[in-house]
Amino acid sequence: MKKKKLLTLSLAASLALSATAVSANTAPGQNTAEKIHVNKETKTPDFIAGKLTAPSNKPVKEIVLTYLEQKEEDYKIGKNGSSNFKVVSQKKDDLGFTKLKLQQVFKGVPVFGSVINAHVNQEGVLTSVSGNLAPELYDKQSLKKGATVKADAALKNAAADLAQKIGGTPELEHEAAAELVVYVQDGKANYAYSAEFEFLYPEPGNYQYFIDAKTGEVLDSYNQIHAAKPSAGGGTLTGEDSTASGKGVLGDTKTFNTLLNNNGSYLVDRTRGDGIFTYDAKNRTRTPGTLWLDSDNVYNAAYDGAAVDAHAYAGQTYDYFLDVHNRNSYDGNGAQLVSTVHYGRSYNNAFWSGSQMVYGDGDGSQFIPLSGALDVIAHELTHAVTDTTADLVYQNESGAINESMSDIFGTLVEYHFNNNPDWQVGEDIYTPNIAGDALRSMEDPTLSGDPDHYSKRYTGTGDYGGVHINSGISNKAAYLLANGGTHYGVSVNAIGNDKAGDIYYRTLTQYLTPNSNYSHFRAAAVQAATDLYGASSAEVASVKAAFSAVGVN
């Protein structure tokens, strides 16, 4: 693995994963045969589409749960009716579909990552059920008896393991809490305590832990800093909203919103959602640092550049999601966007910490200040969008899809604002003395050693199962979908950035679920395109071709 792969940057076998699509017999009251996509590993459905029920005036929850009860044998979840599920949310989308998000539970305990999304149209017809459920839990001997280890003891064991892993005791951003879950890994199911540890000192991290609820042993852990759960930041200030100008990292002049009072000009934008706040770490590693204050509302000093870009580009990313996808900040509810620049000394990284954005200045050789790239900032904030929608687990294929979604929208934001756009990632701030290179190329992922086809995917344990490496597969598909081309003998007709963005946004927010793999990703994208443009549309044909071109069927 190349050294570049070790820079996560919050950016940074022979056949495609097969799944079976079958048509079931039309049940009474149904208008169209079900199209069932089956997960290769579990041999259970992970996507069902069609007119699955007759039109109805019944509540959406009743429509969905009645259907799922009929499908209990297919899903292999036992005959427990609605007790298999807990409703997480219900919301109508821009196309008039009502999405019901359901969490699988076993004996009242949530099954980690086992979430499904069901869509009911305006006529009360169930049109799709998307997501992976854990099958045959009722047969697992490991689940016959409940937890014997207390939650606080599990937390202590996780904290001790974490301290050993990072070589010190972290200063947590908030107190960790343990939740009892059923954790399924490689076909084994255990009662476990799930806990997250978010910290920025002595190094940045947001570790997800699973502790066996019977033995207290660590079952699994991984750093999910890119997909952490955000919280609000900033403070309450009084003053007058204003507009300022300043020079960014690359010397370009831009305008942005500030707040003026007797102290001077603050990098605070109160015109977008609950606000955009930009802080100065002053080359320390404590966050958020000091709210950026300028004396004259003109930000032209060299030291200002990182803050100017962080502030302005956060605003542009906010505008893209609002104007193009009708999404008010990353959570859809106007959440604050908090950034800290000048983090550490010569720090070659940028990341979403779980509470805010953090940008290093780079060492001047490998990186210059990382906030100087719009696609980097949009990439990171897309991780927050993912966390509040699909919540893709940051390991293996779901983690690779997570990373790719951030690359895709980072690029689309760059094109939307015509900011020297291209299909590279981080090219503006990476290796300033080497022209033309980038962290990753979506047009040709192999330039940085990433696979451009599912048959070439990385199957090791490094990079959390290849979350950055295997993102190249989806990145290549996205490039082909937007631009067209022939890859591995498969021709793809271009549909352009705008349509590709609409399809990927709907895929992410409506159909992907925490444990989505590449095969499920394809089925989800096809359904999203079908919703938007029709089953027989050229857009659906291009989506299918793009995934086939990278070996995902």
Residue 235 has pLDDT above 80, yes or no: no
pLDDT of residue 237: 83
The per-residue pLDDT for 236 is 65
pLDDT at 226: 59
Does residue 23 surpass a pLDDT of 70? no
* pLDDT digits 0-9 by tens, 477-531: 999 999 999 999 999 999 999 999 999 999 999 999 999 999 999 999 999 999 9
Residue 354's pLDDT is what?
Answer: 76
HEC states along 473-517?
HHHHHHHHHHHCEEECCEEECCCHHHHHHHHHHHHHHHHCCCCCC
How far, in Å, CA of 262 to CA of 532, rounded?
51
pLDDT of residue 148: 95
Tell me the one-letter amino acid at 54: A
pLDDT in tens, 269-290: 999 999 999 999 999 988 899 9
Q: Would you please indicate which residues are annotated as catalytic (active-site) residues? A: 380, 468
> Which alpha helices (DSSP H) does 234-287 contain, by range?
none
Q: How far apart are CA 4 and CA 469, in angstroms?
A: 10
The one-letter amino acid code at 340 reads T
Strand pairing category for 337-343 and 276-280:
parallel
pLDDT of 32 reads 60
Give the pLDDT confidence of 108-124 residue by residue, as tens digits. 999 999 999 999 999 99
Instruction: Taking residues 197-217, report their average pLDDT.
Output: 93
Tokens of 362: 């780079």
Q: Which one-letter amino acid corresponds to residue 122?
A: Q
Higher pLDDT, 225 or 54: 54
For the chain, the average pLDDT equals 92
Region 179-207 average pLDDT: 93
Instruction: Kindly tell me if the per-residue pLDDT of 320 is higher than 90.
Output: yes
Return d(Cα 457, Cα 394) in angstroms, integer: 17
- The two tokens of residue 159 are 């904290």
Q: What is the mean pLDDT of residues 334-350?
A: 96
Residues 6+ apart with CB under 8 A from 5: 12, 449, 462, 463, 468, 469
> CA nearest 371: which of 305, 440, 302?
305
Q: Which domains does the chain have, with CATH numbers?
A: 3-15+390-549 (1.10.390.10), 20-142 (3.30.310), 151-213 (no CATH), 240-387 (3.10.170.10)
Enter the tokens of residue 230: 């955000």
Report how far apart, in Å, the C-alpha atoms of 91 and of each of 129, 389, 463 are. 15, 12, 35
| 26: confidence class by pLDDT, cuts 50, 70, 90 | very low
3-state secondary structure of 168: coil
Q: Is the CB of residue 454 less than 8 Å from the CB of residue 17?
A: yes
